[in-house]
Amino acid sequence: MDIFSIPFSQTGTLLAAVMAVLAINVMLLVLFAFAIVSFLKKIAWSQQESEKTKQRAMQEAASVREQARREAEEIVSEAHGKATEAIKKIDLLGSGMQQDLEKALEAVYKREVERVARTADQLVTEYRSLLDEVRKKHVEASEAAMRQMMEGSGLAVHSFQTFLEEQMGGYRQEMQQRMEDSQRAAQKEIEAYKSQAFKKVEDSIYRIIQFVSQRVLGEAISIEQHRKLVITALEEAKREGLFET
Amino acid sequence: MSEENVAAVLETVHTREEAEVLEEALAEMENRLFKKTHDAARLLEDIRLSAKTVDILKQFVATEAASANPVDAHETLATLRKKISELKMVRVELAVEPDPRLIEEISRWVRTNVAGQALVDVGVDRRMLGGARIIFNGRYRQMTLAELVEKILEAEKRTILKELGFQP
State whether B106 and A202 contact (CB < 8 Å): no
Identify the band that residue A55 occupies on the pLDDT scale cut at 50, 70 and 90: confident
pLDDT attached to residue A180: 87
B135/chain A closest Cα distance in angstroms: 8
Contact between B60 and B1 under an 8 Å Cβ cutoff? The reply is yes
State whether A243 and B114 contact (CB < 8 Å): yes
- Could you read off the pLDDT of A189-232 as tens digits, one per residue? 888 888 888 788 777 777 777 777 777 777 788 888 889 999 99
Q: Which of B92, B115, B129 sits opposite A214 (nearest CB)?
A: B129
pLDDT attached to residue A222: 85
- In chain A, residues with a C-beta closer than 8 Å to the C-beta of B131 are 229-230, 232-233
Contact between A127 and A115 under an 8 Å Cβ cutoff? The reply is yes
Amino acid at B8: A
Largest CA distance in chain A: 191
Most confident of A82-91, A123-132, B86-95, B143-152: B86-95
**Rounded Cα–Cα distance for residues B110 and B123 (Å):** 15
Mean pLDDT lowest among A129-133, B72-76, B113-117, B132-136: A129-133
Residue in chain B closest to A241 (alpha carbons) equals B141
Residue count of chain A:
245
**Rounded Cα–Cα distance for residues B80 and B53 (Å):** 12
Would you tell me the crossing angle of helices A121-153 and A11-118 to the nearest 10 degrees?
Answer: 140
Q: Which of B106, B115, B157 sits opposite A245 (nearest CB)?
A: B115
pLDDT attached to residue A90: 46
pLDDT attached to residue A121: 58
- In chain A, residues with a C-beta closer than 8 Å to the C-beta of B124 are none
Residue in chain A closest to B140 (alpha carbons) equals A242
- In chain A, residues with a C-beta closer than 8 Å to the C-beta of B109 are 231, 234
Residue in chain B closest to A219 (alpha carbons) equals B129
pLDDT attached to residue A101: 45
Provide DSSP, B21-66. Answer: HHHHHHHHHHHHHTSSS--HHHHTTS--S-HHHHHHHHHHHHHHHH
- Could you read off the pLDDT of A134-177 as tens digits, one per residue? 667 767 766 776 666 666 655 555 666 677 677 778 878 888 88
Identify the band that residue B138 occupies on the pLDDT scale cut at 50, 70 and 90: very high
pLDDT at B71 > cutoff 70: yes
